[in-house]
Amino acid sequence: MAQSQDNTHEPVAGRAPLIVGGYDFRSLTEAVAEPVERKTPIGWWLFFLPSLAMLGLFGVSIGWLFWEGTGIWGLNNPVNWGFAIVNFVFWVGIGHAGTLISAILFLFRQKWRTSINRAAEAMTIFAVMCALVFPGIHVGRVWVAYWMFPLPNQMDMWPNFRSPLIWDVFAVSIYGTVSLMFWYVGLIPDLATIRDRAKTRIKQIAYGVFALGWRGSHRNWLHYERAYLMLAGLATPLVLSVHSVVSMDFATAQLPGWHTTIFPPYFVAGAIFSGFAMVMTLMLICRVVFKMEDIITMRHLENMAKIMLLTGCMVGYAYGIEMFIAWYSGNPYEQFAFANRALGPYAWAYWIMVSCNVITPQLFWFKKMRNHIGWLFISSILINIGMWFERFVIVTSSLHRDFLPANWDYYQATFWDFASLIGSFGLFFTMFCLFARFLPLVATAEVKTVLPEADPHQGEELVRVVRGGGDAAAAPQAAPAGGGGA
């Protein structure tokens, strides 16, 4: 790490390199393929086995839930939605950063995304898997969970398409499907790389089947890149719709604390905020474990810290506006709900949320803190805790004291609530460990396109600038030494 070149400063002439360490095409392939091809390191087991144990806990808690019913959770009469929905919203939110990195930054031509988009997309898929478990298991009578889908059935009944809950079923499951396709399309060329390097017959067949016989034909790349662009263009409005729809599960209810129009943008900003924190956590571990400090550089981490600062401020703004609107509305129920949120029985959760989500990212105003590995790691964990508490605060503090004081109660999570929360992390990390072990962690084919020698017009941009013609602004990054500087 110490020898890594600093690429967080823009040089006077040209652009700072996106990846450092002097990689060429071949050494980049080596660096990415090596973790897939080497013997399983002990360090991997250190992450995998605890994750697997947590996943086992998930299985036990779900099994006990099916046997005993939702009574094993701390639900009570005003608080009918507990950890299950909190975890669902949390995990869907985590997924959003993956799509932001892979789709929205792609449309904005943010080329630094190439080093982290594969892992971020994988994270999206695993987070959506975790999220989808909870609506499936929280319905109580799990054997009729299929009622959520518009399937012809013996009762001749159909779901109510005017309800945000069914929008949610469509939004989240389609989001998972499209994310999976986007991820797989991106993987095809890299699977072909692993196939061509594979030494054993089993590997050749396993990777070969999924590589679909990819041979890098430019006639194929032409359609491939177009498909990738279209998927990015589709995933962008999709991801914005998903958390908006999730927020409408709450916003269309009459309950004070839920019934607000700010929810869709506020949920989307929070989702991206928490998702980037999770990408940060995973990348900080992966770049050390897989020795990829030169591919996932300080510049990537710093850019992510900047996005966390931005979305953290948006989330903080939303907290403030919620309070303001509650006061400004003149509605006593609304005013009570928010005073109760900050000062009532769940004030501890509210202030954990505010300190983690609003105060923590403020340190990212300082470049020193954006480049401080230790602080990046701590803050990413704190932000994830804070964002989990945000959903907890929204769900629980709004529900536990509604219009009639006679209904009031306090929601106390049980062992099984925590078991399903920890268990869902087990599912997430187990999947991520398997991904990091068996699939290329970095989108090699895409990173190769940002190497200076991948540009067929390398070194020609100066000529174009001097002639005053052409699209000098669109010229890809040149190596700092080779760049402009009249």
Partner 1 sequence: MRLPRLRPRRPVGEGPDMGLMQLDVPEASGGYSHYGVLARFRTAKELYRACEAVRDAGYSKWDALTPFPVHGLEKAMGLKPSKLPFVVLATGLGGAGLGFGLQSWVHIMAYPLVISGKPLFTWPAFVPVTFELGVLGAALGAVLGMFAFNKLPTYHHPLFRSPNFARVTDDGLFIAIEAWDPKYDDQDTAEFLSGLGAAEVEHVPIEDPADDGDGAEGA
Q: Given the rule CB under 8 A, which residues bind partner 1?
A: 24-26, 29, 150, 156-162, 164, 166-167, 170-171, 174, 177-178, 181-182, 184-185, 188-189, 192-193, 195-197, 208-209, 212-227, 230-231, 234-235, 237-238, 241, 245, 444-446, 448-449, 453-458, 476
> Minimum Å distance from CB 28 to partner 1?
9
Nearer to partner 1, 195 or 287 (CB): 195
> Minimum Å distance from CB 150 to partner 1?
7
* Position 280, amino acid: M
> Minimum Å distance from CB 236 to partner 1?
10
Nearer to partner 1, 6 or 24 (CB): 24
Tokens representing residue 45 in the block = 């087991």
Q: Which of 87, 110, 433 is nearest to 282 (CA)?
A: 433
Work out the burial of residue 406: count CB atoms within 10 Å of its CB; fewer than 13 is exposed, 13-18 middle, 19 or more buried.
exposed
The SS3 of residue 379 is helix
CA angle 65, 71, 72 (to 5 degrees): 55
Nearer to partner 1, 105 or 171 (CB): 171
Nearer to partner 1, 107 or 359 (CB): 107
Nearer to partner 1, 64 or 184 (CB): 184
Any residues with CB less than 8 A from the CB of 112 and at least 6 apart, and which? 18, 105, 299, 300, 303
> Minimum Å distance from CB 110 to partner 1?
16
Q: How far is CA 383 from the centre of its chain?
A: 13
> Minimum Å distance from CB 243 to partner 1?
12
Q: How far apart are CA 67 and CA 95, in angstroms?
A: 30
The SS3 of residue 233 is helix
Nearer to partner 1, 390 or 446 (CB): 446
Q: Which of 294, 285, 377, 303 is nearest to 2 (CA)?
A: 294
First to last CA, the chain: 34
- Contact of 108 with 288, CB cutoff 8 Å: no
> Minimum Å distance from CB 33 to partner 1?
9
Nearer to partner 1, 43 or 237 (CB): 237
Q: How far apart are CA 311 and CA 296, in angstroms?
A: 22
Place of tokens 């400063």: 9
Any residues with CB less than 8 A from the CB of 268 and at least 6 apart, and which? 96, 239, 240, 243, 244, 247
Q: What are phi and psi of 256, to 5 degrees?
A: -60, 140
> Minimum Å distance from CB 152 to partner 1?
9
CA angle 406, 411, 414 (to 5 degrees): 145
Nearer to partner 1, 43 or 459 (CB): 459
Nearer to partner 1, 302 or 455 (CB): 455
> Minimum Å distance from CB 463 to partner 1?
13
> Minimum Å distance from CB 458 to partner 1?
6
Nearer to partner 1, 114 or 396 (CB): 114
Angle formed by the axes of helices 83-99 and 373-392, nearest 10°: 130
Q: How far apart are CA 396 and CA 409, in angstroms?
A: 10
> Minimum Å distance from CB 324 to partner 1?
29
